[in-house]
Structures are given as structure tokens and as C-alpha cells.
Chains A and B, each alone.
Chain A
Amino acid sequence: MLLNEPHPLEVKVLTRRYKYPQQDPIWLEQYVADEGYDAIRKALTMQPEEIIDEVKKSSLRGRGGAGFPTGLKWSFVDRKSPKPKYIVVNGDEGEPGTCKDRIIMGHEPHRLIEGCLVAGRAIGSNRGWVYIRGEYREYIDIMDRAIQEAYDKGYLGDNVLGSGWAFHLSTHTGAGSYECGEESALLESLEGKRGNPRLKPPFPATSGAFQAPTIVNNVETYSAVPEIILKGGEWFAGLGTPRNGGTRLVCLSGHLNRPGVYEVPLGMNMMTLINEVGGGVWKGRKLKAVIPGGSSSPILRADECDIPADYDSLAKAGSMLGSGATVVLDETADIVKVLARLMAFYAHESCGWCIPCREGTTWLKKIMARLDEGVGTKRDIDMVDQLAQGMMGRTFCALGDAAAMPAMSYVRKFREEFEAKIQSAQVFMPAPQTQPLVVL
């Protein structure tokens, strides 16, 4: 399987049952042997408000990217509504740099199931779906098997652990679309439609899947809940920094000696994360920059990275924690090329629903391709910045912002590299071949 050898600075909460180098997923028997499903047993003795209060106390914030407080989100659901209430797990995981949810679905599927059960109990739900990207067929199969195990032993079904409460869960596969990671687009996809985002409000807590109140959270978010119920919200909050509770699965990738997915306390210094946990920049090279929270997060220069990796500290530094994906770029990395590749990605993945995103991402892609190929001009550099500013906050969903934020930050922080690429290309560019307008 994929988890690395544990690092001494890791704090294992979500990955605590995993015994390196365990090959098989943790199936029901192993899960139950180590406090598995004790959290739902406890939650069944609690009032829904108590469960939500415990999650609020934990300072658990959404691990998908937005970082919204989870307990608060759950409290928005009107439990007295006559409509059914639904639980939806966002396991789409398409943000470049991000590969953490597969660790949970692939290694400890019952943790996610138990998190869904507790969430379902908290909002009075009887049904949930785990939305998994289509490429993750292996994890769909693992989740399906674990769900069947849970049904067979009475953890799921019409009478959960003899409580009289019914909760049903199933997987639902996507079929290749980054946009479906956006919660309202995901709900459209769950209903069998194109993954176009919905106008908000109403938010899913009011009108979500099949027009019923729904909470949508990331795989990692639900997976933290069993520990919060078992050990208390305050214990979980104490693992992180104020307002940034708990641990975080970070995906270290790029130019590192020891890339991998590690579980660390929220707020660990980013340089510690890179140099200690990730083993430092590879090939003895120097650090040039870090993408701290997935491809949509604004880039940080090396001299800006001596900060805690939590939601608030990164926001203060002009970036974001996002999905917790940390991509490291060494001194030889071509910043223009990286941005050109990212803009091609966002243009490809824009659903086309709104004009600022559809046209803006395509335009950015074309300009960046020019700059990367050395046939751009200094005016193109300014245009990237201006165009991204024009998109920011003006698109239907966050995909437009996700393209605009890196575009602005790369140009502003590494402008000299953009200019150098133009100049070096001009030096070596052959004189253009011209043809006479009239051949005599």
C-alpha cells in the first residue's frame, strides 16, 4: 500500500490503526478489535445537539479546501424538516497535488463509514453516499466491500446496532471531472447530470441532494469524527493551533527526498514539514518555492515559508491551506512552465457554465502557452495578472478563483522569471521568414 514509514514528528490519529507496512486494508475484524465502531455506540447514547457541540469544540474545519467549521455546517441542517436528510462524502480528490483521501478509503474504509454514521445521527439522516472519482476503481471496490461488511454485522441497515435507527450508505462513482469536487457540482453529478455548479444560496444544508437537506464533507473530515466522539472535542482541538483543531494529512510531492502522505498536527512549521518530514529538497538543491495547499493556492517564495502550516497562518501569508497538498519546487524549477501547465489544467476542467471562467481560463492558457514557448511579450505578463484579477470573485463557483489565484501570485512573485524567459527566447529566436506580398 501507499503509506510511508512513520516519521517521529507525525501524530497518528486518523492513521493510528495502520501498522506499517501493512499490505491489506483494515477490514472490519481488525477495526473492531481496536475501538472500531465504539464512537457510533457512544453517539447513539448522545443527543444530536451534543454530537454537534462536540464537533464544534474540536475546531474541526473542512479538509476539502474551504476550511469551513464542520460543527457549524452540521448545525445548519433543519432536523425538523419533513424532508429526508442526506450525508454526502466528497471523495472526488482532483486538486493537483492532493492524494490523501485515497489513503483513508484504501487503508481504513470503516473509519469513513463510522464518521458517516455519526454525522447521520447528528443531523437525523437515514441515507448517505460516498462519491468517489471514477479513476479510483480500486478504492470503490474496497469501500463497497467494507460497506457490505458493515451491513452484515448490523452497523449499517434498518436497525443500526439495535437502536431502531436506520442508516444506509453506498458508493457512487464519478467519471472524470475536477469540477465535481465542488460540492454543488458533485450533487448534480450524484443526481445523474453534468457536473455544473448550482447557484448558492440555497446551500446544501437547506437544499442539497435531490432537493433535500444535505451535508457534504470531505473524506478526511468525516474520518476525524470517530476520534472526536471517543476522546472529546477538546482533546482533538488541543492537537492543533487555536481555531485549527486536530491533525492533518499532508501530501508532500515535487522535488523532495521523501515525498508521501503524512499525518501531522495542524500548525507544524512548513520548513519543518519540508526539511524534516519530507527529508528536504532533493539532489542537495535549494528551495525555490512551495505550493502550500493544492494547485489553486497562491505560491510562496522560499523566504515566505517559515510559517505554521494552518488555515489562519497561510491566509495571513496570502495563501491558503486548501487540501493540504504541499508541492515543493527546487531552484531549477521553471515557474513559467509550471503556471502554463496549471492554466492548461483549469481550462480543460472548466465546466463552461459561466463565461468568466470558460473564457478566462482558456485565455490564460493561451497566454501562458505563448510565454512558456518564448513567443510572449511583456504585455502578456501584465495581461495574465489583469485577466486573473477580472476573474477573481466573478465566476459562478470557485474554479475561476482557483485558476486566478495562482496566476496572479506566480506573476507577481516571480515576474523576473517571466521576463527572463522572454528575453532569452528573443536572443535565440531566428529572424522571422518573410515573403514578399507580390511575387514578380
Chain B
Amino acid sequence: MTFSPELEAKFAKMIQNYPAGRQKGALIPMLLFAQDEVGSMTPELLEEVSKRLKVKRVEIEEVIGYYTMLTREPRGQHHVQICTNVSCMLTGGEELYQHACKKLGIGNKQKTADGQFSLEEVECLGACSWAPAMLIDYDFHFNVTPEKLDGLIESLKKTQ
């Protein structure tokens, strides 16, 4: 399996950041960046990372089961994450999440039929002072209202 030249260069540099013989340190960043390119934790991806870092498959499986951002299920082309933790909840985060469910016609960790969007209710995004907050892919959106959410979804639909 090969990755894009940019990602290959990133990985080559990344491995040097850990002490000799301790390259397993690069495992979590490598999985996350590879997932962003491949879409999910495919068997081929795991095999490739296992080979590169000389770690057993079971060690990778342990890590995937633990970190919420690593997923075996392919997400939509755009992954919408809405925070409903305390600061967001106090300022309308739960209503925003319910609105997103209706707007997209899906529930938590589901994907639209056309594969364009997936939705996830997430824990604190670290954007509490600008709540309610959400992430679409890796882009933060602050002080989000249902109307603003609608606008973002529609503009992404148009760019497909």
C-alpha cells in the first residue's frame, strides 16, 4: 500500500521524532493521518502501518478500539461533529444536534444514503467560549445556530 507523496514525506519525518527503537511512538499520529487519506482503518492500512513501525496487529487493534477519532467504518465525505457538553449544552448545543439529525435525516454515527455526510455527537471540542461549536471535517465553526448549520450544509452540497 502506498500513500500520497506528501503523506509519505510526513511519515518519513515523523518516524525520526522518536528515540531509536521506539518508533511505535509514531503509531497514533500515523493512524490518524493515514485515516484522513484512506477514509477508515482498512485491513490494508493496518498491515502497512504494522510493517512500517514493526508493531503487531493486535497492538494496533488495541489503539483503534480506544481512541474515538479512529474508525473502522468509512465516514461520509464530510464528517459533522456537534458538541453537546456542558458549555455547548447551556447555549443550545443539544437543539443544534437535534436539528442536524433532522436536516441530514440520520442519527449519531450514521451516514447519509448518498455518502456525503456523516454525523456524530461528540464530547468537548475545546471551543467552550464560542459555544455552541461544531467541527466539519477539521474546520471549527463557532456560535453555531440552526440557520448557520443549514447554510454550511447547503454550501457543502453545492461544492460536491
Contact = CB atoms under 8 A, between A and B. Distances in A.
A170 B28 CA distance: 14
Interface stretch (B1-9, B82-90, B149-157): B82-90
B138 to A, nearest CB: 4
B115 interface: no
Interface in B118-149: 123-131, 135, 138-140, 142
Given A84-B19, A174-B28, A254-B91, A99 B66 contact: no
**Most chain-B Cβ atoms within 10 A of its Cβ — which of A84, A173, A337, A349?**
A173
Nearest to B139: A138
Interface stretch (A7-15, A38-46, A90-98, A197-205): A90-98
Nearest to B35: A175
Contact of A254 (B31, B62, B90, B126): B90
Contacts of A252: 129
A95 B124 contact: yes
Interface in B78-128: 81, 84-87, 89-91, 123-128
Nearest to B128: A253
B135 A135 contact: yes
Given A135-B125, A177-B67, A341-B85, A259 B138 contact: no
A135 B63 contact: no
A338 interface: yes
A259 B129 contact: yes
Nearest to B142: A2
B94 to A, nearest CB: 9
A375 B105 CA distance: 30
B31 A175 contact: yes
Contacts of A210: 18-19, 22, 25
B62 A194 contact: yes
A96 B93 CA distance: 13
A295 interface: yes
Interface in A182-229: 189-195, 210
A129 interface: yes
A291 interface: yes
A260 B129 contact: yes
B29 A102 contact: no
Nearest to B68: A176
Contacts of A175: 28, 31-32, 67-70
Contacts of A348: 123
Nearest to B123: A345
Contact of B129 (A127, A135, A261, A291): A261
Contacts of B127: 99, 102
Given A84-B19, A98-B128, A192-B28, A178 B87 contact: no
B4 to A, nearest CB: 16
Interface in A331-378: 333, 337-338, 341-342, 345, 348-349, 351
Contact of B69 (A2, A95, A135, A349): A135
A275 B69 CA distance: 38
Nearest to A94: B124
B90 A255 contact: yes
B27 interface: yes
Interface of A: 2, 84, 93-99, 101-102, 127, 129, 133-138, 168, 170, 172-178, 189-195, 210, 251-255, 259-261, 291, 295, 325, 327, 329, 333, 337-338, 341-342, 345, 348-349, 351
12 contacts: A94-B123, A97-B124, A135-B125, A172-B17, A175-B68, A192-B26, A192-B28, A252-B129, A259-B129, A261-B129, A295-B124, A341-B89
Interface of B: 14, 17-19, 22, 24-29, 31-33, 53, 55, 59, 62-63, 65-70, 81, 84-87, 89-91, 123-131, 135, 138-140, 142
